[in-house]
Amino acid sequence: MWSFLLLFHFAAYAVWALSPTHISCQLKKPGEDDPLTGCAPGTLFVSLEDPRADFSSVQAAILSLPEDGAAIILVGAGEYHETVNVTRSGPVTLLGQLDPKTAFDPAGNASTRNLVHIWNNQFVQTGMDDPQSAVLLVAPSFNASLIGAGPTGAPLQPLFGNLDFKAYNIDFENRAANFSISQALVTDISYANASFYGCTFASYQDTWYTGRNASTYVVNSIIFGQTDYLFGFGTAWFENVTLANRACGGGITAWKGTNLTDAPGNRYGAYISNSRIFRSPDANATAVTDGKCFLGRPWNDLATTVYLRTFMDDSVNPVGWTPFDSARPVIMNTTFYAEYDSSGPGGNTSARIPLEHILTKQEASNFTIDKVFLEHPKWIDFDYVV
């Protein structure tokens, strides 16, 4: 399995944290009568095997919840073949169960310690909108989850969904995907706030999507992909993540902006901070163009992507950025692409495209979590310290 390949490859580059708030609930409790010992009152338990479980699927537990009120769901170890669809507005926290024998291993990482795997195998076919392939959807309605086509995408929806979705130590994977198949999403977060801690996300094309009016935060996690595998329309912050290039197609990021975008003060874009870009151990060499992957390409002319203090191995193309396709062969000056303090073989910025902004320390200080989200987000667990 791809997860075990990462133990040696990535462990030396990161410190993998756990949640001080939830760890006592997450740890498996051999010999104890109650699997929810250490959990907050009212926590639901999902398990494929434990007869004491409230539900045998994550989606069944989600559907049991009322529209309002905070909910915590502990997910027992196992392989869950399902789609998880969260439409409610009340806060939802998913906790992946952990083994106390491996949870605190300093040589482990998000992929090797996680025991919960939620997966599906849908991919985009004729007539489908991309999110119909997603493994995890957090959006208030079907229409709100739609991506649509063109530079402006699906029609704006007059509603908002989940105010605070969190997931800890869960692997989400689209197993339909390989380097030759079409889009096969792992996430669709639209019109919602969502954060992820110690998780993995694995596909090839379009792994991660932060949709319209969505705000997402991912920390201490691993994301596998090939083509535009971080794409979106909202605001996404990736902190201490490993981006694992399975091959090179399009760019690592493909983002849209709106006419409100006016870099560097905009709210929309992808921000990768204190992270790493590697060629994935399971990369398909025949699908890599000269072994070099672009940092991004503009899904529309108002795209924003910023890399801050990110290590880049030699799988990164020296020019950094590429036009979207032959129909749009030029990156417009309304696009904002920037780097600060990149390192590693691919972090040499001397050959980057002239349009890119190589930020000074003072300029980079404009890109913090609070400044990007225009607030100190209450939906982020800042007690989870890396």
Q: Using 50, 70 and 90 to split pLDDT, how confident is the model at 2?
A: very low
Helix (H, G, I), strand (E, B) or coil at 273: strand
Burial of 314 from C-beta contacts in 10 A (0-12 / 13-18 / 19+): middle
Residues in the chain: 386
Cα three-residue angle 131-173-137, rounded to 5 degrees:
35
Q: In Å, what is the CA distance from 353 to each residue of 299, 334, 356?
A: 17, 14, 6
For residue 151, whether the previous peptide bond is cis, meaning omega lies within 30 degrees of 0, is no
Report pLDDT digits (tens) over 151-192: 888 998 999 999 999 999 999 999 986 666 789 999 999 999
Q: What is the pLDDT of residues 217-257, one digit of tens each?
A: 999 999 999 999 999 999 999 999 999 999 998 999 999 98
Distance CA 320, CA 335 (A): 14
Report which DSSP code applies to 334.
T
Residues paired with 253 in a beta bridge? 230, 296
Q: Using an 8 Å Cβ cutoff, are 44 and 59 in contact?
A: no
**Which domains does the chain possess?**
2-373 (2.160.20.10)
Token duo for residue 43: 């926590």
Cis, bond preceding 264 (omega within 30 deg of 0):
yes
Q: Which of 86, 92, 96, 380 is nearest to 239 (CA)?
A: 380
| 258-271: pLDDT as tens digits | 765 444 555 799 99
